[in-house]
Amino acid sequence: MKEIDLIGFIKELWPINRSITGKGLRQTLSVIKEYLPELNLYEVETRTKVLDWEVPEEWDINEAYIEDSEGNRIVDFSENNLHVIGYSAPVNKELTLEELEPHLFSLPEKPNAIPYITSYYKKYWGFCITDLQKKELKSGHYKAVIDSRHFEGSLTYGDLQIKGQTDKEVFISTYCCHPSLANNELSGPCVAVALAQWLLSQKDLKYSYRIVFAPETIGSATYLEKNLNDLKSKVIAAFNLTCVGDERAWSYLPSRLGNTYTDKVALHTLNHCTDSYSKYTWSDRGSDEKMYCAPHINLPMVSVMRSKHGTYPEYHTSLDTIGKVVTAKGLSDSLELHKKMISIIENDCVPITKIIGEPQLGKRGLYPNLSHNRSSELVRTRLDVISYADGKHTLLDIAEKCDVSFFDVLDELEVLLKHDIIQIDYLKV
């Protein structure tokens, strides 16, 4: 197993031209498998019905460029894989600027950015360029070449399954269909791989874990087609890993139902372990949660992100790069926060005091001997854990009630377990 270096991993995957099917996707998954040898890879044939969708053809592209009348390659896919509309149809013809223009995409409000545009479900060809460049194009003749092809093949995805003490699962999904874009979206697979390596290093996990790497939307539809009943019967918490690479913000996007256990865990963690965060609503959704939380599926999936997709200026453009957007600290803080959420899920339980009435902590050395004004303040959290250990509150509920971090409450629980004051009942989520 290759140990992950966060930034190194993104750099390694950066040059690959990914799409929702094809060579780039397959190559990306095989790199991930070097880090996670237990990753299972699957191929699903073109035209297979997956939920309301159908697995599309594979897409392959060799080269693509625009030449001006003097034979200069003024736009070249080999320089930046965003220059071609994702899944673009082939073309090879000469045209006037006027004829070319409906096939040129730029962002007037971000003149030096190449936009990321795809056309998966309607065959179209086009180039994406900076608005600066577009404005300088002179009328005249151009040659547009996209040497791409669509063909019957298969869609590739992978999953990693880690067995815990129970069959109940925490489900983690991320996607790897975006070409050279850093925050959205190489940060997701990056943090997912690191999180998986950490989970594999943990002993005695209570829950099982399933981490899915697939193309966005069509990949999650495919995964659900194959695994829906399994997921519905096992999953107790679910996270979508996306936009987890910058250090400019924290963001919370709820599950569709909005009040699931995953939502509670995420909100508690964000409240106690970040300085501030933006709280989005379900109507701000935009990634695989759309599929996983949909009616009849209802997985309790939450996204804890840094800067949310669609909200930062470099989103879906050539400016979404390592350095400008994604940083080592951004990635590693995301990783730590997800570890914390998982630790909460692993350690949450229903504590029940074994003692009728307030216990005498003093005789156990758990309380100051001399009473004075602030005696009980010193052991406030300890007393609170006991006080709410009535079988009706989870440890997370107690942390919320006391407005302290879950981990402070957990520390006290461990003391109380050692002194046989508390017993624990397992949590039914």
Nearer to a second copy, 83 or 316 (CB): 316
Helices (H), 57-202: 97-100, 131-136, 187-201
Q: Which residues bind a second copy (CB under 8 A)?
A: 51-53, 85, 115, 117-122, 124, 217, 220-221, 224, 228, 256, 282-283, 285-286, 290-291, 293-298, 310, 315-316, 352-353, 355-360, 362-363, 369-374, 376, 380, 383-384, 386-391, 402
| 304 closest CA partner among 330, 267, 329, 276 | 267
Query: Burial, 246: exposed, middle or buried (Cβ in 10 Å; 0-12, 13-18, 19+)?
Result: buried
- Provide the minimum distance between the beta carbon of 52 and a second copy in the complex, in angstroms, as a whole number: 5
Give min distance, CB of 291 to a second copy, in A. 5
- Between 71 and 356, name the residue whose CB sits nearer to a second copy: 356
Nearer to a second copy, 78 or 281 (CB): 281
Per the structure block, which two tokens stand in for 120? 């998966």
Task: Give the helix/strand (H/E) hosting 145.
Answer: strand 141-151
Rounded least distance, CB 317 to a second copy, Å: 9
- 334 touches 242 (CB < 8 A): no
In 3D space, the residue among 192, 181, 177 whose CA is nearest the CA of residue 4 turns out to be 192
CA–CA separation, 185 and 178 (whole Å): 6
- Between 42 and 124, name the residue whose CB sits nearer to a second copy: 124
Nearer to a second copy, 122 or 138 (CB): 122
Which is closer to a second copy, CB of 154 or CB of 217?
Answer: 217
Q: How far apart are CA 331 and CA 352, in angstroms?
A: 38
Considering the complex, state which of residue 130 and residue 208 has its C-beta at the smaller distance from a second copy.
Answer: 130
DSSP letter assigned to residue 48: -
Let me know: does 1 contact 197? Beta carbons within 8 Å. yes
Report in angstroms how near the CB of residue 188 gets to a second copy at its nearest.
17
Choose between 199 and 410: whose C-beta lies nearer to a second copy.
410
- Other CB atoms within 10 A of residue 290 CB: 16
Cα(429)–Cα(230) distance, integer angstroms: 17
Q: Which residue lies nearer to a second copy by CB, 137 or 294?
A: 294
Q: Closest approach of Cβ 34 to a second copy, in Å?
A: 30
Q: How far is the CB of 281 from a second copy (least distance, A)?
A: 9
Distance of CA 201 to the CA centre of its chain: 21
The residue whose two tokens read 């924290």 is 250
Report the candidate in 217, 236, 222 with the shortest Cα–Cα distance to residue 309. 217
For a second copy, the closer CB: 220 or 327:
220
Distance CA 391, CA 395 (A): 10
What crossing angle do the helices spanning 23-35 and 187-201 adopt, rounded to 10°? 30
One DSSP character per residue, 284-328 reads G--STHHHHTSTTT---EEEEESSPTTTSTTTTBTT--BTTTB-H
Minimum distance between the CB of residue 16 and a second copy, rounded to whole angstroms? 20
Residue 409 Cβ, how far from a second copy at the closest point, in Å? Answer: 13
